[in-house]
Amino acid sequence: MTAEPVHELLDRWRSDLASWAIPEEITSRVSESPWVLPTQVFARRAERHVRQPFGPSFERGWEALQPSGEVLDVGAGAGAACLPLAPMSSTTSPRPSHSSPLLLSMPAVGW
C-alpha cells in the first residue's frame, strides 16, 4: 500500500469540505458560521497531549510515522492529535485557516 502525497490529501480534504457547505441562502442570514468551533475549548486537551502523549490515535500515528513521515492536520481544535507527533514528523501541513496558538507555535515543539 502506497500513501498518497500530502498535496493530494489536502486537495481531497478541500473538496470534501466544499461538498459539505451550507447553502449561501442560509449562511447569509446568520452572523457566525455553524462550522466554527472555539479553539479554546480544545486548548487544554492539546497542551496535555503535548506534555504526555497517550491514546490509541497517538499510538497508531506514531507507528505510521516510523521512521519518519508527514502529518496532515485537518482539525477543528488546538492540535491535540497532531502536536504530539511532532518529534516523528518530517513535514506537517496544518489546515490553512487554522488559528490555533499551539499550531502557530509548531517550531517550539519540533516542526
Give residue limits of the domains in the chain: 51-111
Average pLDDT of 18-42?
Answer: 83
Average pLDDT of 6-27?
Answer: 90
105: cell is 507555535
Q: How does pLDDT run across 73-107, given as a tens digit for each residue?
A: 776 667 788 888 888 887 766 555 444 555 555 44
Higher-confidence position of 70 and 41: 70
pTM of the entire predicted model: 0.52
Contacts of 18 (CB under 8 A, 6+ apart): none
Residue type, 47: E
Mean pLDDT of the chain: 78
For residue 49, is pLDDT > 60? yes
Average pLDDT of 23-29?
Answer: 90
For residue 65, is pLDDT > 80? yes
- Using DSSP's 3-state secondary structure scheme, residue 69 falls into strand
| Cβ atoms 55, 48 nearer than 8 A | no
